[in-house]
Each structure stands twice: as C-alpha cells, then as structure tokens.
Amino acid sequence: MSDSSAIEVTLYTRKGCHLCDEAKSQMAPLLCEFGARLREVDIDADDSLRALYDADVPVIFLGERKVAKHRLDLAQFRRQLERACHS
C-alpha cells in the first residue's frame, strides 16, 4: 500500500492521558502491520474539539469513521483495519 493510499488513523488525545498512551501503544503493532498512518490531534489545542471530546479521550477514527473511545478493543480494531484495506 503506497503512502497516498495508506489508511489514516486519527487519535484524539491530550497530554497526560494514560488511556490515550495505552491506546497508542496497543495499536502501534497493528498500524505497522497494515501500513496505516497515525495522526495525533491534541484536543486541548482546539476549543471545538475540547468541547466535543473532553470527557471521551482517547477517541479513535479510522478514516472518517469513529471506531473507539476510552478503550481500544484490539480484535475489533484489527477487523476494522482488514475491512479498510479491502475496500
């Protein structure tokens, strides 16, 4: 998969969020396996994002679709990445 067609995973996060750090480290091997790019967005840098996700971080999007918040289900995330690769 080329960089231009790589799956983009967005992690809405904030500094000091242990659940965010946990989700990032859990998903790292799968991101490598599927050649996905991780984009981290600090919600505290944007008032509208902070209002939207304040109590919900981490929030994880696969492309345009929200796939997880708070905790990451690795088996489900793997299936979602597999589907994204084949679509």
CATH of the domain at 58: 3.40.30.10
Q: Are the C-beta atoms of 84 and 7 separated by less than 8 Å?
A: yes
Q: Are the C-beta atoms of 25 and 38 separated by less than 8 Å?
A: no
Residue 12's DSSP bridge partners are: 41, 59
CA distance linking residue 57 with residue 20, whole number of Å: 7
Structural domain of residue 71, as residue ranges?
Answer: 3-85
pLDDT (tens digit, 9 = 90+) per residue, 24-50? 999 999 999 999 999 999 999 999 999
Q: Are the C-beta atoms of 86 and 34 separated by less than 8 Å?
A: no
* Global confidence as pTM: 0.91
Please tell me the total count of domains within the chain.
1
pLDDT band at 4 (very low <50, low <70, confident <90, very high): low
What per-residue confidence (pLDDT) applies to 86?
83
What is the bridge-based pairing of β-strands 8-13 and 59-62? Answer: antiparallel
